[in-house]
């Protein structure tokens, strides 16, 4: 009897396929779409009715994001499962703004790109821990979804800044 023969049929269906293990080039994978959208259409910020509340200053936007994460974390009931998630979520969510401030004060292009890369990673990590928080406390999903969407936007913004900065740096090296 081989290892695979001893696995139940439903266990085999849940096993990941090798091609599914590769990170997609798409910023938002199918699971993210299915999990967070809940069958609703996404609202683009520019279509928002409340145009005056939009923040284009990234320092202010990342600070507000950190505040949203802290308020959300306060709503998570504390127990052995959620305590670690709360700590990680607050750490990742608030460090996005801290790293942006550091990038804004960078003394070199390399230092700037390093800090922006960290912002990018922390925004992505925040998305992960929001997902884990919803798994632990499902009734928090509507509020977590709002924060997740902002984390996603910040991740995309910082990814674009990081990619453009690297491309410019590479062009300068080549010439």
Both tokens of 17, joined, read 């396929």
What is the average per-residue pLDDT within 96-111? Answer: 94
DSSP class of residue 49 equals S
The residue to which tokens 């949203």 are assigned: 68
Please, what CATH class does the domain formed by 57-175 belong to? mainly alpha
Which pLDDT belongs to residue 71?
Answer: 97
What is the average per-residue pLDDT within 97-122? Answer: 95
pLDDT band at 44 (very low <50, low <70, confident <90, very high): very low
Q: Which of 4-18, 89-103, 112-126, 144-158 has the lowest mean pLDDT?
A: 4-18
Q: Is the pLDDT assigned to residue 170 strictly greater than 80?
A: no
CA distance 61 to 63: 5
CA distance 173 to 165: 12
Which pLDDT belongs to residue 11?
Answer: 47
pLDDT band at 108 (very low <50, low <70, confident <90, very high): very high
Q: Is the pLDDT assigned to residue 174 strictly greater than 80?
A: no
Contact 131, 35 (CB under 8 A): yes
Contact 66, 94 (CB under 8 A): yes
In the chain, what are the domain boundaries? 57-175
pLDDT band at 48 (very low <50, low <70, confident <90, very high): very low
pLDDT band at 166 (very low <50, low <70, confident <90, very high): confident
Cβ neighbors of 123 (< 8 A, separation 6 or more) are 92, 96, 151, 152, 154, 155, 158
Q: Is the pLDDT assigned to residue 26 strictly greater than 60?
A: no
Contact 103, 112 (CB under 8 A): yes
Which pLDDT belongs to residue 38?
Answer: 59
């Amino acid at each position: 009897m081989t290892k695979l023969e001893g696995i139940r049929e439903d266990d085999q269906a849940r096993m990941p396929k090798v091609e599914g293990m590769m990170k997609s080039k798409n910023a938002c994978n199918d699971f993210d779409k299915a999990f967070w959208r809940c069958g609703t259409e996404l609202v683009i910020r520019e279509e928002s009715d409340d145009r005056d509340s939009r923040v284009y200053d990234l320092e202010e936007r990342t600070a507000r994001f950190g505040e949203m994460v802290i308020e959300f974390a306060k709503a998570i009931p504390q127990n052995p499962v959620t305590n670690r998630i709360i700590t990680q979520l607050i750490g990742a969510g608030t460090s996005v703004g801290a790293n942006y401030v550091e990038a804004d004060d960078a003394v070199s292009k390399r230092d700037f790109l390093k800090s922006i890369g960290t912002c990018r990673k922390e925004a992505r990590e925040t998305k992960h821990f929001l997902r884990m928080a919803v798994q632990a406390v499902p009734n928090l999903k509507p509020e977590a979804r709002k924060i997740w969407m902002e984390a996603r936007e910040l991740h995309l913004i910082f990814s674009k800044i990081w990619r453009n900065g690297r491309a410019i740096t590479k062009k300068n090296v080549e010439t």
